[in-house]
Amino acid sequence: MFSKILIANRGEIAVRVARTARKLGIKTVAVCSEVDVYALHTTECDQKVIIGGALPSESYLNGRRIIDAAKDMGVEAIHPGYGFLSENAEFAALCEDEGIKFIGPSSRVIQAMGLKSSAKVIVEKAGVPLLPGFHGEDQSDKTLSAEAERIGFPVLIKAIAGGGGKGMRVVDRPDQFLAALSAARREAKNSFGNERVLLERYIQAPRHIEVQVFADQHDNYVHLYERDCSLQRRYQKVIEEAPAPALTEVTREAIGETAVAVARAVGYEGAGTVEFIMDEDFQFYFMEMNTRLQVEHPVTEMITKEDLVEWQLRVAFGESLPKQQDEIKLSGHAVECRVYAENPARDFLPASGRIEYLMEQRDGGAAVRIDSGVQVGDEVGVFYDPMISKIISWDIDRQAALSKMDSALKAYHLAGIQTNTNFLRQLISVPDFNNAEKEPKNLNTGVISRYIESVDQLYKPLSAQTVALFLVFELKGTCNRHNEPDISADPYSPWKQTDGWRLNRGTNRIFKITCDEKPYEITLNITPKKMQFTLGEVHYELSEWSFDAGQIGVTVAGSVIKGFVFEGESGLTVFCDGDTTVLTRSRFDLDVNDESGNSLIAPLPGHVRQVLVKKGDTVKKDEAVVIVEAMKMEHTILSPRTGKVVEIYYSEGDQVLEGAELLALEEDQP
């Protein structure tokens, strides 16, 4: 076995490869850009080499620098992971020339299968089913127009290089063809440096089925069953599962054997994925071959109980496949959800920032797996793919696996950046996906787009449950500042405190917060007999709140709510019943110092520049009492009413948070 390998990647796949290598006793070398020096994958490896700047072209796509690092560190092989240089024939050839084993197929195979047109020529000779189409050399407008007419509309124009939906156009009518062709060529050239295209008959909303294949250097070929990757958004996979729902054993065997035939036809070595599209009659057609380990390989590992990275390493070292076809057994069902740093509420814009808090489910045993590429403190920037982790669940059947996935998503708590976990929970309950075993015709690549079109918004409005947790968190903070006894055991403790806590006199506080860029105003009313808040025009009563190891419990309108609130630089992140909600306090306009209040509240974070009063002083309404400095500006805070200063909680120079109680007032007795 290899003694040392270099992992030419970053994120979760680099972590994944490093852990299997460690299990096999193989030393690992991480490569990293200047912004990834302290990234998780560098800590999982034995050594690391900084290879360039933040731009991928300066680091992870710079094959020459990676080869130089490999030679300097004395490695025997390079694992490319997925993405970046994993399907780059020139890089594989460079490894071959330098005598370093590329853990994957040969450069010849990558070149042959990397272009969809040449791949179709190879598989066509092997008798693999193809959609009616054209993948010839003549790229003239006249020839392509004629071929489109022959194939029949709608027709799909597809770039022969690359992927990810770039250089693709669906054409419904002949008069639209030339304009779409021009656009597809232009996009393909800009994305891949190659404007050549092929044509295929377009299948409306097909299923995307792919088969995991493996081959060694001794002419052994196997498949490890199929995956369904139909849940996609803009041609990008979001949720994958294995095996594909509702396939008969006859179809499963046929598609597996066809995938093996593709691998055999090209003389494959290592891990590969043969992708097919399937129509509603379960007829499947070759689409392309990915000459690498896929992002979604864990679902295959879960249903076969095999370590595919270990297979890769053993095959690359020259060993035979660990198992033959009849020894590979399918067990249960697995689902994978990709966690992206993005904001579905803002048209899935990529999100960036620092991960301030991260808690993942770690009690699922073999049934729940999380492949993560990040840790607390990591900066998620704009230079790389926004996928930060993958959550994989397994159980004996599909519904049980989906239930475990829902639980795992509920338990995935991340603060600091927006993620799509709420959206993922919505997707796994969409009937077209959830009921796929009973209604497989509704499971296709259009599921997500149909769902998005069917709902008014991709996020839930601010809920009373979330607001209740937020308010309890704020009140808990007030208690802490006063060094009051914990507000936990006694359900009426907020108004039974008699040791000077100013909330027991009755007051209103108005909180102005923002959620998903929408402003909200919440009024909290506290009297000696009840606590009530108003959200919109609805009133909710709060009672029986508690804190236990950071968890908040509170009863809202008779229902018990449990959750957790994390406060960081990005705002307040509220985790409640599986939903993650980010709240930010509105700055400079927090209307907290009203006439009925007994406290003076800081409307913004900053430093106490000057306290203008002393304990025992009587102040008049609108008299200046405290000056807070923030953003190099001084902000004078006025007394909300006439009263006596009975307590001052901060001194000059102290730092205060927005919403902090600065001092307490007592009504001036005549």
Catalytic-role residue among 292, 369, 502, 585: 292
Q: Which residue has the tokens 């979604």?
A: 296
Q: Which residue has the tokens 């009616």?
A: 132
Residues in the chain: 670
Q: Angle at Cα 296 formed by Cα 294 and Cα 302, nearest 5°?
A: 120
> Which is nearest to 623 in space by CA: 637, 608, 633?
637
SS3 content of the chain, % helix, strand, coil (to 5): 30, 35, 35
> Which is nearest to 116 in space by CA: 98, 134, 100?
134
Q: Is 185 a catalytic residue?
A: no
Q: Angle at Cα 55 formed by Cα 341 and Cα 356, nearest 5°?
A: 35
Instruction: Give yes or no for a contact between 338 and 387, defined as CB atoms under 8 angstroms apart.
Output: yes
Q: Provide the residue type at 536 as one letter.
A: G
Respond yes or no on whether the N-terminal peptide bond of residue 298 is cis (omega within 30° of 0). no
> What are the tokens at 68?
């130089």
Instruction: Give yes or no for a contact between 85 and 10, defined as CB atoms under 8 angstroms apart.
Output: no
Q: What is the DSSP string of 1-59?
A: --SEEEE---HHHHHHHHHHHHHTT-EEEEEEEGGGTT-HHHHHSSEEEEEE-SSGGGT
> Which is nearest to 600 in space by CA: 568, 632, 646?
646
Dihedral, CA of residue 259, residue 260, residue 266 and residue 272, to nearest 10: 70
Instruction: Give yes or no for a contact between 92 and 102, defined as CB atoms under 8 angstroms apart.
Output: yes
> Which is nearest to 224 in space by CA: 145, 304, 131, 302?
304
Annotated active-site positions, please?
Answer: 292
